[in-house]
Chains A and B, each alone.
Chain A
Amino acid sequence: MSGPKRFINDVKVSERHGAGEWLQERLSSLILIPLTLWGLWSGWALSGAGYDGALAWFRSPVNATLLAATLLISLWHMNMGLKVIVDDYIHRPASRGALLGLIGLVCVVSAAAGVFFIVRLALGSAPLPAGLGA
């Protein structure tokens, strides 16, 4: 299972996948610091702006891109965080596997649906369900 031990600066390199997950958690956190502050600012801009204000906001490519990035990186970060919580408290392998699968599914569906909505709003598409056979 484990290969030869490797060291960088006298610190042993992880033999399996733990270090990669650690790095992913830190990387996503780091990117989310500015994105969260931007999200706070956007929340201020969108509050009370109504439907027309929201549509105008989405037509800005900067807003649409940053929102998609915030959503995707948040869901990635959330998936890792919830996995750690489940690993901590759920010990029966079948329950743990089922919960992790459910959480993963919710994250993937949220990501796909969210990006779909953002792209439509950014392109100024007609309100749904137009274009979906209705």
Chain B
Amino acid sequence: MSTSPLPGDASNDPTDDQSGRFVRQPNGRVRPLSPHLQVWRFHLTMLGSILNRIAAGALSVGALFVVGWLAAAAFGRGAYETYASIMGSPVGLLIWFGLSLAGAYHLTAGVRHMIWDAGSGLTPKSATSLTIVSMVAAVVIVVAFWAILFMTGKVVL
């Protein structure tokens, strides 16, 4: 099997690369990956994409919290009230505020992707506009949600 010449020194072995700079193609050859963060000029759709991925990771942890909530409910009053008091504490509320923000942004950014998948909004200008709309909409949804929760007295600090 042929491998590409090593760029730079011999310790920089592309066949054992964990930095993501090289990737083994299906035909067995090692090829450099396309340019990454360090050479990109900042643009808003880039930030939108990174935040969407962070939101996805946060929501994955959030899914485990939801299963934990189900378990607490299934294990009876004592377990449920312990869980509710932890999640109703300032730290718990901060976690759920973050999760609701992640959820709202993942939703609006997902809708943005659906619009792109349909073939619309793909010029740089409209892609950036869609990204701004998705970010603002997510913040508006979450602030409104928590404002209602506090105003109705369902959540107290």
Interface residues of chain A, those whose CB is within 8 Å of chain B, are 26, 29-30, 32-33, 36-37, 39-40, 43-44, 47-51, 54-55, 58, 71, 74-75, 78, 81-82, 85, 88-89, 91-92, 106, 110, 113-114, 116-118, 120-121, 125, 127-129
Contacts and interface: CB of A to CB of B under 8 A. Distances in A.
Q: Chain B contact residues: over half helix, strand or loop, or mixed?
A: helix
Given A78-B60, A85-B57, A91-B17, A33 B74 contact: no
B86 interface: no
Interface centre among B16, B66, B81, B114 (most CB of A within 10 A): B66
B20 A89 contact: yes
* Interface residue tally on B, bucketed by range: 35 or more
14 contacts: A26-B114, A29-B110, A29-B114, A33-B107, A40-B141, A43-B100, A81-B56, A89-B20, A91-B24, A92-B16, A113-B67, A117-B74, A121-B74, A125-B74
A22 B145 CA distance: 32
B12 to A, nearest CB: 15
Interface centre among A26, A71, A91 (most CB of B within 10 A): A91
A11 B83 CA distance: 52
B135 interface: no
A110 B63 contact: yes
Nearest to A114: B67
A85 B148 contact: no
B73 A36 contact: no
B64 interface: yes
